[in-house]
Amino acid sequence: MGRIMGIDVGQKRVGLAVTDPLRIISTGLDTVPANQVFNYISEYVRKEKVDIFVVGSPVTMSNHPSGASKYVDPFVRKLKKMFGQIPVKLADERYTSSLAKQVIIDSGIGKKARRDKARVDKISAVIILQSFLDQENL
């Protein structure tokens, strides 16, 4: 059984998370500059079996695509083109940044470290992926 990779797409950075091989828990993998993310994913997929990509889908409270869709939609198209054999699932990413910030605060990390936006992106990817796992009951 391969891993599932969670992806939080941003304009500047992309947060990545993966499951353990048994798909029980989501763990933060890395935060990568947006212009390097496909090279990073390609290298990861060469080393580890990935069965599914889960990409955070930005939607508004009224379930319409948000402004961030202009970054996510082309990302998903390129992901499908490059890794056509690996299914891409979309997962609601509402509130993930807020939840990630709260997780960081609750963890007791100092104020200076809390300003690290890369940390927020990686934790957001973990939350997106863990929510997907909880809903899908894989």
Q: pLDDT by residue (tens digit) across 2-14?
A: 999 999 998 899 9
Strand partners, 8: 15
Asked if pLDDT for residue 73 goes beyond 60, the answer is yes
Query: What are the backbone dihedrals phi and psi of residue 18, each rounded to the nearest 5 degrees, phi first?
Result: -140, 160
Residue 87 banded pLDDT, cuts 50, 70, 90 = very high
Indicate the pLDDT class of residue 69, thresholds 50, 70 and 90. low
Q: What is the CATH number of domain 3-136?
A: 3.30.420.140
Task: Report the b/e string of 31-57 with b at 16+ CB within 10 A.
Answer: bbeeeebbeebeebbeeeebebbbbbb
